[in-house]
Structure 1
């Protein structure tokens, strides 16, 4: 194979998926698509409207009808994209702990996943994309040319998210972030529809002891190795 045109990156919260995907997309000249923000947007909108994370019917209707747009960054504040919900910039609101705590339950509803997955798949099939989520390699884009599954231990991931939130000025405790992440892992891995797991042909990388530069270099080396292998086969 040559350079993979569709790259899927999956894994649990704060495993480094988004950071890796952004760097990889910039390196390859590809489009970065974070599918998780769609679920976060629906969750944020549901919480704001007082819709319970357990109300499958109301959440499905919300996912189908929500005015949601993902744009290139509109503010130079470190954001990788701008998320607009009903005309409002909610990019950083989607990272609040209450959204973290509810998004897995919201995204577990089949109707919500069906409403959002088709749009994600259409984006991925265009090619020249690095798409990140929790079920990209298994459900949304199983034909991806390269599938990466990032993981790290729970406390390491909670420390990363805690630091991220503190840097944005949000008053949260480490224990609060840790518990929210523990609950989210259980929901992601235990849901009946598209549970979080590596695709059978995914390359699994444990990032617990790795910084983003080390992870990035490992994936770039993997892509280059596959390109060399493809060149030999072509000859």
Structure 2
């Protein structure tokens, strides 16, 4: 590759955006940033402090929390997994729990949270050579990204994928519960007032309902090749 670019991946929940983004970063030698994990970390911190109750976020301490919170990303070469940290503590499993999943859209819709995290994300992207996935990466965070991908898949397929992930982590949930959560998140993400989920005008759509990860990689490598030669 002659030059490095910013790859922005948006789309619905449980489309495999993170798996896809990690695979791209590993193959290209890019830095992978999970923007969704950043919102999940903030959500986890608010839950730990008891600041989310009955679907309402107590924002009285929010500004100080956002200033103090330290979100980090690292790669474990032994286990070959990416890890997310909260103030130095690995919280990868906790931020993927149903409790966090049920509240993250609520937290992500708070303007102060989004403003602060977008600042951090843009800082990470200044040197190029990054892959970032989320809900508004190509429309808000990196509107000038060289490659924007919008991922989608059939809701029931997404629910089955998510259920498998949760069961592998020992969590006892049903397919109906996971599907309900996905449908609720889709609605909230598309209808929130701040940076709603939508496809950027210049994004390419990737419907991976019936695609393997390798088939997706072949597709994206051809895209990247066109932009970097």
**Aligned position for 1:232:** none
Which 5+ residue runs of structure 1 have no aligned equivalent?
229-235
**Aligned position for 1:193:** 194
SS in 2 for 1:15: coil
Alignment of 1:152-231 (within 5 A): 152-227=153-228
**Aligned position for 1:5:** 5
Give distance in 2, aligned partners of 1:8 and 1:174: 30
Q: Is the 8 A contact 2:155 2:183 kept in 1?
A: yes
**Aligned position for 1:69:** 71
Distance 1:203 1:56, change over 3 A: farther
Shift in Å, 1:87: 4.0
SS in 2 for 1:72: strand
**Aligned position for 1:25:** 25
* Moved segments of 4+, more than 4 Å: 1-4, 74-78
Q: Is the 8 A contact 1:41 1:85 kept in 2?
A: yes
SS in 1 for 2:82: coil
**Aligned position for 1:57:** 59
SS in 2 for 1:73: strand
Report whether the alignment pairs 1:14 with 2:7.
no
Q: Is the 8 A contact 2:12 2:186 kept in 1?
A: yes
Give distance in 2, aligned partners of 1:5 and 1:106: 30
Give distance in 1, aligned partners of 2:108 and 2:166: 22
CA-atom RMSD in angstroms: 2.0
Give distance in 1, aligned partners of 2:227 and 2:89: 42
Distance 1:34 1:172, change over 3 A: same
Shift in Å, 1:16: 1.5
TM-score (norm 2): 0.91
> Deviations along 1:168-205, whole A, 9 cap, x unmatched?
11111111111111111111110011101111100011
Distance 1:46 1:5, change over 3 A: same
TM-score (norm 1): 0.89
Shift in Å, 1:86: 3.6
Shift in Å, 1:46: 1.2
Is the helix fraction higher in 1 or 2? Answer: 1
Report whether the alignment pairs 1:46 with 2:46.
yes
Distance 1:225 1:87, change over 3 A: closer
| Count of aligned pairs | 227
Give distance in 2, aligned partners of 1:2 and 1:192: 40
